[in-house]
Amino acid sequence: MRFVLMAGLVTILAAVADVKAQTSRAPRGYFDVTFVGAQPTGNFELIVDEGWGFELGARYELDSAGVLSFRGSLGLINYGNETLHFCSVYSCRVGIDLDTQNNILSVGVGPELALRMGPLRPYARGSLGIGYFVTTSGLSGSDDWTGHT
C-alpha cells in the first residue's frame, strides 16, 4: 500500500511540474523516466525485500487530442544485493568476496488512454511484454583482506 501511495504522489507531482509543456500542442511523441518499485508476494516475499528501480518510456499520441497513445517501456528493478566474504583456498591472508545482484528486466508495449483536465493528465495504460529475472554473481579479492566473517 505504501508503494501505491508513493507512486501516486510522484505521478501527481510530475504532472503538475509539467503543466506548461502540456498546455501547448507541441510534438506528439514523448520520452519519460519513471521511478518504479516492486512488492513481492506469496513465497517470494519470504526470501526477498521490495525492489526499486527505473523505467524508460516512450509514447506517441495517435490522435490530435492526446487521448489515445501507443506506449513502450524498458525497466530495471533491483531487489537485492549480497556480499559474502571467504578465505581463499591458500590462506585467509587473501580474501575473496562473492558479490551477488538480483534484478528484474522488463520490456512492454501497449495502449494508453488519457484525459486532459487543465494542468492534469490522468491516464490508464495496459502493457504486453516480458519480465526477466537476472541473478549475477562475481568474485573479487585483494591481499589486504582484514578477515571479514
Question: What are the pLDDT tens digits along the chain (149 aa)?
Answer: 566 556 555 555 555 555 555 555 567 899 999 999 999 999 988 888 899 999 999 999 999 888 999 999 999 999 999 999 888 777 777 788 899 999 999 999 999 999 988 889 899 999 999 999 999 999 887 655 555 54
> 121 pairs with which residues across the strands?
none
Say which DSSP state 120 is in. Answer: B
The whole-number pLDDT of residue 14 equals 58
Strand pairing category for 123-125 and 128-142? unpaired
pTM value?
A: 0.68
Q: Which stretches does DSSP call E strand in the chain?
A: 29-38, 51-61, 68-87, 95-114, 123-125, 128-142
Distance in angstroms (rounded) separating the CA atoms of residues 79 and 106: 14
